[in-house]
């Protein structure tokens, strides 16, 4: 079971080895497995993924998602990767970043995000759900933000399924979670 968690956190692509050791070793397994052993397992999984990355396409779906999120950010939509473990953590993170950017004085009009549960779903089912909304709330403005998010995703070559409702996430379908590790 520890190997499964380690592999997942390595695949996410957002965590340094020491962070994975802490999250998986301390937080999930309460140090029941010696830290040295965790370090070895994390290092081996990282090496395995680096080797696997050699066969990945030059541009992955995660690269496309990064570009779409950059486009959204440039247009006043706070786009958060890996914003927490649950939707409520994401809302808190989004709110914190909104106020750090100046709140109502900022140019931020909306948001979109995904969390670790969404990444797990993408790893297993090849579908990444994105929550979104207008910074001030409201169904009509949220739908407009949703349309902007959908357009940015599609402009970067991602396939999208969405009902058009502010009550439903935007699903990036046929999504292969291949995030290159930026750290060892």
Domain boundary residue among 53, 73, 92?
53
Same domain assignment for residues 75 and 162: yes
pLDDT (0 to 100) of residue 21: 83
Domain that residue 26 falls in: 2-53
Has residue 1 got a pLDDT over 90?
no
Same domain assignment for residues 89 and 165: yes
Query: Cβ contacts of residue 183 below 8 Å, gap of 6+?
Result: 15, 16, 17
Least Cα distance to 68 among 130, 142, 135 occurs for: 130
Residue 164 placed within a domain: yes
Has residue 184 got a pLDDT over 60?
no
Write out the two tokens for 159: 């396939």
Same domain assignment for residues 35 and 113: no
In tens, the pLDDT along 39-94 reads 888 999 999 999 999 999 999 999 999 999 999 999 999 999 999 888 889 999 99
DSSP 21: I
Q: Which residue has the higher pLDDT, 137 or 128?
A: 128
Helices (H), 32-138: 35-53, 61-74, 87-100, 116-125
Same domain assignment for residues 42 and 75: no
Residue 110 placed within a domain: yes
- CB-based contact 61:69 (threshold 8 Å): no
A 10 A CB-CB count for 155 gives 12
Give the Cα separation of 41 and 179 in Å (integer).
19
Same domain assignment for residues 12 and 72: no
In tens, the pLDDT along 13-44 reads 999 988 888 888 776 666 677 778 888 889 99
Give the Cα separation of 56 and 49 in Å (integer).
10
Domain boundary residue among 13, 33, 53?
53
In tens, the pLDDT along 97-107 reads 999 999 999 99
Same domain assignment for residues 74 and 136: yes
Same domain assignment for residues 12 and 93: no
């Amino acid at each position: 079971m520890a190997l499964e968690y380690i592999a997942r956190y390595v695949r996410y692509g957002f965590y340094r080895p020491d962070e994975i050791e802490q999250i998986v070793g301390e937080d999930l397994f309460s140090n029941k497995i010696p830290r040295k052993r965790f370090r070895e397992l994390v290092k081996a999984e990282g090496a395995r993924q680096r080797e696997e990355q050699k066969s990945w396409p030059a541009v992955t779906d995660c690269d496309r998602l990064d570009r779409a999120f950059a486009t959204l950010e440039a247009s006043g939509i706070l786009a958060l990767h890996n914003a927490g473990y649950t939707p409520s953590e994401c809302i808190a993170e989004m709110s914190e970043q909104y106020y750090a950017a100046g709140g109502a004085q900022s140019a931020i009009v909306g948001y979109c995000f995904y969390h670790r549960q969404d990444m797990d779903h993408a790893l297993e089912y090849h579908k990444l759900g994105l929550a979104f909304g207008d910074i001030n709330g409201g169904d009509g403005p949220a739908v407009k933000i949703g349309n902007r998010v959908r357009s940015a995703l599609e402009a970067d070559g991602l396939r999208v399924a969405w009902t058009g409702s502010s009550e439903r996430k935007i699903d990036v379908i046929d999504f292969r979670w291949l995030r290159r590790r930026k750290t060892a």
